[in-house]
Amino acid sequence: MDAPPFANEVNGDERGTVMSIEVQHLTKRFNGFTAVHDVSFRVETGELVALLGPSGCGKSTLLRIISGLEIPDGGEIHLTGKETTQVSPRDRNVGFVFQHYALFKHMTVYENIAFGLKVRKLPKQEIECRVSELLGLVQLKGLEKRYPFQLSGGQRQRVAVARALAPSPRVLLLDEPFGALDTKVREELREWIQQLHEHSQVTTLFVTHDQHEALEIANKILVMNSGRIEQNGTPLEIFDRPATPFVAEFVGENNFIEAEVTEPHLVPWGPFRFPVNGYPLGEKIRIYFRPHDVYVSSLPEYPHVDVKAKIMKTRFRGPMTELNLHIGGNKQVIAHVPKGVSLTSGFIEGSEVYIGITAFHAFSKS
């Protein structure tokens, strides 16, 4: 497939310029309830950043503030290095795509994409050229005469993205753009949005509550909880080095235990002894370890895979098998092993195995 043209190429004077988003100490209250609480972060030129968090944590409010649709109670917004906190949405030059298709129902695909350009009174020929370019970019060439009801959900969202990109925005804000679509289409569009971003290089901030979407697409993830940013990092950092218990619980699957530092630098839990640093004796600790970081073997492998466990239940999870393991003392551990390993090693319900924990994260309970 030919590389799609650059989305921001038409507006040549924007090329090479800074297209960053910076918010400083943003706060927003609704009737005394703080939906966004002292939030600061920066999205660099050309980055694709995910704003990830559970329902109601303030993601959409934050995006709406950046776009100018919502006025913050405190803080500042800088787009492309200029303070825009008081600038009207129209003059911010921001592209916005919502979860629910906000296409004009009575307009064709062409007319929808051309809308923002007609409002700006661009010459007809220029509009035709830009719409044609965008139809190529969002891979909808040939569908320009269709109306929204004649398109699939995924195609409609692609038109919405093309419409948002038409006026060559400085930044693109996507609010759960694939939220209303089924899993398969969402997965296809994830790949598509990545390609689109690679070609257009428009600085993009997209909201999602889907960790897989964020981990797969984004260069950087902002994890949000109760109006605050809990962690700002690359997908690998967020997954491998969660900064808070919330991030550890929200991103990826986990075994979770609470125990106490009863020996210097050690948290014993059943037959396991977790080394921890910097906590005093008696400190209550939360420990998280991922099911795929539990190593399972049919024989003891010294020194680390030596805790005896019984497989109480197996669950088929596609490419991997989930094992529910009892280690005595009413303690349970969930392990994920590749399906092939599980089959060849004879990991069946009732069998005895040996386990070791290869990685974990510890946080103080207080």
Q: Which is nearer to ligand ATP, 59 or 156 (CB)?
A: 59
Could you give the maximum distance between any two Cα atoms of the chain, in Å?
Answer: 77
Q: Which of 8, 60, 203, 255 binds ligand ATP (CB under 6 A)?
A: 60
User: Closest approach of Cβ 75 to ligand ATP, in Å?
Assistant: 15
CA pseudo-torsion sign 137, 140, 143, 148:
negative
CB of 55 to ligand ATP, least distance (A): 3
List all residues 6 or more positions away from 144 whose beta carbon is below 8 Å from its beta carbon: 108, 109, 110, 113, 131, 135
Q: Where does this chain touch ligand ATP (CB under 6 A) — which range of 58-66, 77-85, 131-139, 256-264? A: 58-66
C-beta of residue 171 within 8 angstroms of C-beta of residue 45: no
Q: Pick from 71, 69, 67, 90: which is nearest to 79 by CA?
A: 67
Q: Site for ligand ATP (CB under 6 A): how many residues?
A: 11
Is the Cβ of residue 249 or residue 293 nearer to ligand ATP in the bound state? Answer: 249
Which is it for strands 220-225 and 48-52: parallel, antiparallel or unpaired? parallel
Asked if residues 52 and 223 have their Cβ atoms less than 8 Å apart, the reply is: yes
Q: Other CB atoms closer than 10 Å to residue 56's CB: what's the count?
A: 12
Pairing assessment for the beta strands 171-175 and 203-208 based on DSSP bridges: parallel
Rule CB under 6 A: is residue 67 a binding residue for ligand ATP?
no
Q: Using the rule CB under 6 A, is 35 a contact of ligand ATP?
A: yes
Q: Is the dihedral of CA 126, 129, 135, 139 positive or negative?
A: negative
Q: Is 177 in the site for ligand ATP (CB under 6 A)?
A: no
**Length reported for the chain:** 366
What count of other Cβ atoms lies within 10 Å of the Cβ of residue 184? 9
Q: Does 32 bind ligand ATP (CB under 6 A)?
A: no
What residues have CB less than 8 Å from 278, skipping those under 6 apart? Answer: none
Taking contact as CB under 6 A, which single stretch among the options 54-62, 71-79, 291-299, 341-349 is the one that binds ligand ATP? 54-62
Which residue of 7, 20, 59, 116 would you call a contact of ligand ATP, by CB under 6 A? 59
Q: Which is nearer to ligand ATP, 60 or 84 (CB)?
A: 60
Least spacing, CB of residue 61 vs ligand ATP, in Å: 3
Nearer to ligand ATP, 60 or 80 (CB): 60
Alpha carbon distance 136, 117 (integer Å): 17
Minimum CB distance to ligand ATP, residue 357 (Å):
33
Select 24 or 226, whichever has its Cβ closest to ligand ATP: 226
What is the 8-class DSSP label of residue 293? G
Handedness of CA 290, 292, 298, 302 (dihedral sign): negative
- What are the backbone dihedrals phi and psi of residue 365, each rounded to the nearest 5 degrees, phi first? -75, -25
Select from 49-57, 236-244, 281-289, 290-298 the region that touches ligand ATP (CB under 6 A).
49-57
Any idea what the Cα angle at residue 207 is, between residues 317 and 52, rounded to 5°?
55
Binding mask 184-213 for ligand ATP (x = CB under 6 A): -------------------------x----
The least distance separating ligand ATP from the CB of residue 160, rounded to whole angstroms, comes to 17
Among residues 7, 43, 57, 94, which is the contact residue for ligand ATP, using CB under 6 A?
A: 57
Strands 284-289 and 255-260 come out as: antiparallel
Residue (66 or 193) nearer to ligand ATP, CB: 66
55, 277, 330, 366: which one contacts ligand ATP (CB under 6 A)? 55
Give the nearer residue to ligand ATP in terms of CB position, either 34 or 297.
34
Only one of the segments 51-59, 101-109, 148-156, 238-246 lies at the binding site for ligand ATP (rule: CB under 6 A); that segment is 51-59
SS3 186: helix
Residues engaged in binding ligand ATP (CB under 6 A): 30, 35, 53, 55-61, 209
